[in-house]
């Protein structure tokens, strides 16, 4: 029995409503999770929310609310979006969950007993909006190098985690595991960063400055730094240290999907935390790019967000999923454009896929009253080969983390099937009463449509469902259903509604 496939999104910081960037990360993970379920594997897909820290405290205060009430109201907004866009996660973790907080404290005690944590003075510059400490050298013209805002000088006693103890080990580990940080360009970035001496990580904040966080064990005058707390979710969510089976059966994670802006936390801090705890490394930390609008990153602080709720309202879930999954190569930045989304909707979804499904089912309706004919069953299926090759290409592309390539492979079959209709001209065959040939053409076409419905399940689950319903298939498809030649004579197939009514 293989280890279950364990994939995670980062925990989303709930200081604002989810935007298109959150939707992108989560759709990517959902697609990989669905694909592995489709292959018949057990899957554990975890997402959740990061709920501590200064920015959340500030967001709550701005609304005149207690921090806990504020986060309790934000979490359902995220969950609702995931429901709307077809995200099927197995566990939703919140960093305010009591079990998470307990495990964070257990881990801190363990690291203390291993002398990986010490108390020291921290002198530096602090950027409150970014919750980042910076050294003098890191400042950009005296300002925060991330957001270019003013910083305040700080000197306080805090707990530190000895990242420096593990720097050489990490460089060596990354060098020996080329699949650990992907894509390769990001791996190089991390290795370059690691050429400089690694500073120890300050992992607490005095409660007098920030009260909204997990208490440091036995020193309640400190709260745990929000990143240190949040990263632990990947093991606390599967019950690390709770003496259950869950952790040993799911760990190590197969994929931690992250945005490229939080790669350092995931490819430097996190592996070192795991190493210090003697926990095995995850297989892959996979960094995707940013969606930009007119050249700048989509983010709350830049005020150029795209509301995924609105996009789904206007064009449907699968239009959003198709656009985000297909428009950029995973790892690269994309420039978000609603006009382009509409263009792809009309050409790829409505014209190519939608038309194919409608044509195939309406011709069966028109020429055979919607019933699969029995024919002489000649064995000359030009689409069959193309369809079975598609499965292998999709499998390889997904293994290489290239969902856009998988979608290209599927659409090459969609287009081939449309060309097949043009070449065979079923309407001419009908006029000339070549019933056997007409029947064969339609069966061939409908087999292709059905298998497209099967393979689309991880990518466009709503469309997949609608297509498969035409064939009387109600359950989630798996690779076992990906078999050519199972349409039985006399099966009734209704002419469906258009899958993607065109957008003006
Ligand atoms: Zn800043």
Tell me the pLDDT band of 293, cut-offs 50, 70 and 90: confident
Q: Is the pLDDT of residue 248 over 90?
A: yes
Compute the distance from residue 464 Cα to the ligand 1 centre, in Å. 44
Going by pLDDT thresholds of 50, 70 and 90, the confidence category of residue 303 is: low
According to DSSP, the β-strands at 12-13 and 5-8 are: unpaired
Q: How far is ligand 1, taken at its centre, from the CA of residue 156, in Å?
A: 19
**How far is Cα 264 from Cα 132, in angstroms, rounded to an integer?**
13
> What CA–CA distance (Å, rounded) separates 255 from 304?
29
**Residue 262 alpha carbon to ligand 1 centre in Å:** 14
pLDDT in the model for residue 426 = 97
CA 269 to ligand 1 center in whole angstroms: 20
- pLDDT on residue 404: 98
Give 204's pLDDT tier (boundaries 50, 70, 90). Answer: very high
Percent of the chain with pLDDT over 70: 96
pLDDT greater than 90 at residue 209:
no
The answer to whether 60 and 15 are in contact (CB under 8 A) is no
Given a contact cutoff of 8 angstroms between Cβ atoms, the answer to whether 501 and 383 are in contact is no
337-481: CATH, from 2.60.40.10, 3.30.70.380, 3.10.20.30, 1.10.730.10: 1.10.730.10
Q: Ligand 1 mean position to 366 CA, how many Å?
A: 65
For residue 272, pLDDT over 70 is answered with yes
pLDDT at position 55: 86
What band does 504 get if pLDDT is binned at 50, 70 and 90? confident
**b/e per residue 158-170 (b: at least 16 CB within 10 A):** bbbbbbebbbeeb
Q: Which of 201, 272, 200, 179 is nearest to 232 (CA)?
A: 272
The C-alpha atoms of residue 325 and residue 402 are separated, in whole angstroms, by 9
Q: pLDDT by residue (tens digit) across 171-195? A: 999 999 999 999 999 999 999 999 9
Distance CA 494, CA 504 (A): 27
Mean pLDDT of the chain: 94
Secondary structure of residue 118 in the 3-state scheme:
strand
Strand 117-127 to 132-134 pairing: antiparallel
């Amino acid at each position: 029995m293989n280890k279950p496939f364990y994939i995670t999104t980062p925990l989303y910081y709930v200081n604002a409503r989810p935007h298109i960037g959150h939707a992108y990360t989560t759709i990517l993970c959902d697609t990989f999770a669905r694909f592995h379920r489709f292959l018949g594997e057990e899957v554990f897909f975890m997402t959740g929310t990061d709920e501590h820290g200064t920015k959340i405290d500030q967001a709550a205060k701005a609304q005149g609310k207690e921090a806990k009430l504020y986060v309790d109201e934000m979490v359902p907004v995220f969950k609702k979006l995931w429901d709307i866009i077809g995200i099927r996660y197995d566990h939703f973790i919140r960093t305010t969950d009591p079990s998470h907080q307990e495990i964070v404290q257990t881990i801190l005690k363990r690291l203390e007993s291993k002398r990986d944590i010490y108390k020291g003075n921290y002198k530096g510059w602090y950027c409150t909006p970014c919750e980042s400490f910076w050294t003098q050298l890191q400042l950009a013209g005296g300002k925060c190098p991330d957001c270019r805002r003013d910083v305040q000088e700080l000197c306080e006693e805090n707990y530190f985690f000895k990242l420096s103890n593990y720097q050489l080990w990490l460089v060596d580990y990354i060098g020996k595991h080329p699949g650990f940080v992907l894509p390769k360009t990001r791996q190089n970035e991390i290795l370059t960063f690691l050429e400089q001496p690694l500073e120890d990580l300050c992992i607490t904040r005095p409660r007098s400055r920030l009260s909204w966080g997990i208490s440091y064990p036995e020193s309640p005058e400190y709260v745990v730094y929000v990143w240190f707390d949040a990263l632990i979710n990947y093991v606390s969510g599967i019950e690390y240290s709770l003496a259950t089976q869950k952790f040993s059966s799911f760990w190590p994670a197969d994929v931690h999907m992250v945005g490229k802006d939080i790669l350092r936390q995931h490819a430097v801090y996190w592996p070192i935390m795991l190493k210090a705890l003697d926990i095995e490394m995850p297989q892959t930390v996979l960094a995707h790019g940013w969606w930009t609008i007119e050249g700048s990153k989509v983010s709350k602080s830049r005020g150029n967000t795209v509301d995924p709720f609105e996009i789904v309202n206007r064009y449907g879930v699968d239009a959003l999923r198709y656009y985000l999954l297909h428009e950029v190569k995973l790892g690269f930045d994309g420039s978000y454009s609603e006009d382009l989304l509409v263009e792809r909707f009309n050409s790829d979804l409505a014209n190519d896929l939608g038309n194919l499904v409608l044509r195939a089912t309406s011709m069966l309706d028109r020429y055979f009253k919607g019933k699969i004919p029995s024919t002489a069953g000649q064995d000359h299926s030009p689409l069959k080969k193309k369809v079975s090759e598609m499965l292998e290409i999709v499998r390889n592309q997904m293994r290489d983390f290239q969902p856009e390539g998988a979608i290209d492979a599927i659409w090459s079959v969609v287009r081939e099937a449309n060309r097949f209709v043009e070449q065979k001209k079923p309407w001419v065959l009908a006029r000339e009463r070549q019933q056997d040939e007409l029947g064969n053409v339609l069966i061939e076409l409908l087999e292709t449509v059905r298998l497209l419905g099967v393979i689309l399940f991880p990518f466009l689950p709503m469309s997949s469902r609608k297509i498969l319903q035409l064939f009387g298939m109600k359950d989630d498809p798996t690779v076992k259903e990906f078999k050519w030649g199972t349409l039985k004579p006399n099966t009734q197939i209704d002419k469906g509604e258009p899958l993607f009514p065109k957008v003006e």
